[in-house]
Amino acid sequence: MLDDVEAGSEDFGGNLIGPKAIEQYFEYFFFNRHQEMDYPVSAQTVGRDDTLLNLLSINSMAMDEYGRSHDTAPNIYLRQSFMSAARAFKVIDAATRGIIVPYGEAGRDLVNKLCSAFEVEKQFVLLRRAQQYTVNVFPQDLEKLQKAGAVSAIQKDVDILHLSDARYYDQSFGLSQTPEGTMEVLYA
């Protein structure tokens, strides 16, 4: 691709870093990666090989499957698979898991409120605030914390974790794999 740009440098007025050359570069770049731009997702993630673009647009594979199994087209206007797309999408593709930590008094209060919030609207607002109190840990570190009983779900059947043992968090250094200090329960 760069050879084509260099060979055709006269097309860009001899300026390989000018707007025309850069525009040509990105046209090549996106054309060569057009299938990646659909964000392919695996059968392991959503139950079939598909793309995020399809899940969030016409969702043709799901509609076809519904038609095959029910002998009729689905009678719905919104065909997107938002929940499946959310499970499949990763802004930064890293094998980490978020844990809400009790940073300061505000962090402790937030964890307590999350553990006692049963209204979906209230949980949503609290979870938005909890983003700034969330740290990402690698699977092996999460496993150690879980074996030590230092991590809990904010509520039964809710897959959002928080640090439930204050000994594993230091206000100055952050999350620790070993307990520090005295035992303190972080939720009421």
Is a pLDDT exceeding 50 seen at residue 113?
Answer: yes
Torsions phi, psi for 170 (to 5 deg): -115, 130
Q: Has this prediction a pTM greater than 0.75?
A: no
Q: In 3D, which of 76, 106, 103, 108 has the Cα closest to residue 188?
A: 108
- Percent of the chain past pLDDT 70, that is, above it, reads 87
Is a pLDDT exceeding 90 seen at residue 176?
Answer: no
The contacts found for 14-20 with CB under 8 angstroms, 24 or more apart, are none
Between residues 177 and 5, which one has the greater pLDDT?
A: 177
Confidence of residue 188 (pLDDT cuts 50, 70, 90): very low
Return d(Cα 162, Cα 55) in angstroms, integer.
Answer: 31
Taking a C-beta distance cutoff of 8 angstroms, is the pair 55, 41 a contact?
A: yes
What pLDDT score was predicted for residue 146? 92
Confidence of residue 181 (pLDDT cuts 50, 70, 90): low
Maximal C-alpha separation, the chain: 72
Confidence of residue 126 (pLDDT cuts 50, 70, 90): confident
